[in-house]
Amino acid sequence: MNIVWMQTWALLVDAYRELNARKLFWIALVLNALVVAVIGALGIDEKGVTIIVWHLDIQGVTSALFPPEQFYHTLFASFGVGFWLAWISTILALLSTATIFPELVTGGVDTLVSKPISRPRLFLTKFATGLLFTLAQVLVFTTLSFFVLGIRGGVWSIGLFVAVPIMLIFYSYLYCVMAVVGSLTRSVIASVIVTLLFWVFVWVAHLGEQFTLLGETVQRVEIAAIEKRLEQAQTVDGRAPLEVDLSEAKDSLAVWRPIHLSLFALKTALPKASETIQLLNRSLKQVADVPTIDEDEMGDGAVAGRGFLGSKYARRRDVQAAVERDMTARPVWWIVGTSLMFEAALLGFGAWRFSRRDF
């Protein structure tokens, strides 16, 4: 057992040295620090938003609406996580680690396979070491944000560090694809392109499932609204058009539901990248106590689009509330667990294929 740990540790140290020797590793860390510095340069007071010593007169956006701690938590969740970590930082990490597996199967494997270490463990250890890059980026970004929030916002929120494990899991969804494609094709360019295309495919599947969920929800709310009106209708003439509308809504629901279920099944089999980011955002909002719009202030709202997706009676607020309930009801085991099952299956195939390759 000690030999196994020593071999694994040696591979981790070797991977760190490889990343340390690459300029992009340090460039990415500096960029993370600069992004946090930009967030820290922003401020808010009773007059408006500030940039270092300059004031921006933005109507209504003052510390009375957003106290400093909520202001910085919101910046961290929306810009820091939603844009920087979820997109730019992830792309930098993919580009920086793209050479690990192509180099492993084209030349770097010769010395490693000659040592008493199994090929599946070598493959999986190399995958784990590739995650070090993202771990370093997210840890630096979150640590600096923690100090910015404490110094500028006056709140030392340890809850920010929930971003570290969740973003590491998020990145592993994509990196497992890059690892397997890189080991199969021995091409850095191919592994990057296929991974980015896979990311786009997962994103499109998410958009399709969300759109069909909206369509199904509109019809469900529409049916409930019509049935409520039918209960209140006193005359046959008043009930007749409602019964026609109810029949049309049920027919429409019968079209939307199977399409949504099909896309939901497809999405279940794929990594849930968008939901993982949303899971992180929900956690950060709970920690930050970010204010949300009061439903009473929203009013009844217009009918959901006034004919949008075939609706006539569904109120926008009711549709939004129903979709939100459906999304928040999705458990963590479905979001993360099924994604990790996809990752485990793909890595298992990659390790098996790597162990059978002739070197």
The predicted pLDDT at position 269 comes to 96
Q: What is the pLDDT of residues 67-122, one digit of tens each?
A: 888 888 888 888 888 889 999 999 989 988 888 899 888 765 545 545 567 888 88
The answer for residues whose C-beta is within 8 angstroms of residue 219's C-beta and 6 or more apart is 249, 250, 252, 253, 256, 309, 310, 311
How far, in Å, CA of 5 to CA of 125, rounded?
A: 11
Give the pair of three-digit tokens for residue 325. 């309930």
Band (140; pLDDT cuts 50, 70, 90): very high
The predicted pLDDT at position 53 comes to 72
The predicted pLDDT at position 299 comes to 43
The predicted pLDDT at position 115 comes to 55
3-state secondary structure 53-117: CEEECCCCCCCCCCCHHHHHHHHHHHHHHHHHHHHHHHHHHHHHHCCHHHHHHHHHHHHHHCCCC
Residues in the chain: 359
Mean pLDDT value of segment 2-28? 74
The predicted pLDDT at position 116 comes to 60
The predicted pLDDT at position 112 comes to 52
Between 17 and 261, the higher pLDDT residue = 261
The predicted pLDDT at position 270 comes to 97
The predicted pLDDT at position 202 comes to 97
The predicted pLDDT at position 37 comes to 93
Among 11-25, 36-50, 279-293, name the one with the lowest average pLDDT.
279-293
271 pLDDT higher than 60: yes
Helices (H) and strands (E) counted in the chain, each on its own, are 15, 3
The predicted pLDDT at position 166 comes to 94
The predicted pLDDT at position 100 comes to 87
Band (293; pLDDT cuts 50, 70, 90): very low
Q: What is the pLDDT of residues 212-256, one digit of tens each?
A: 999 999 999 999 999 988 888 778 777 888 888 899 899 999 999
How far, in Å, CA of 107 to CA of 133, rounded?
A: 22
292 pLDDT higher than 50: no
The predicted pLDDT at position 349 comes to 97
Would you say the C-alpha torsion 30, 33, 34, 35 has a positive or negative sign?
Answer: positive
Q: What is the pLDDT of residues 148-185, one digit of tens each?
A: 988 988 888 888 899 999 999 999 999 999 999 999 99
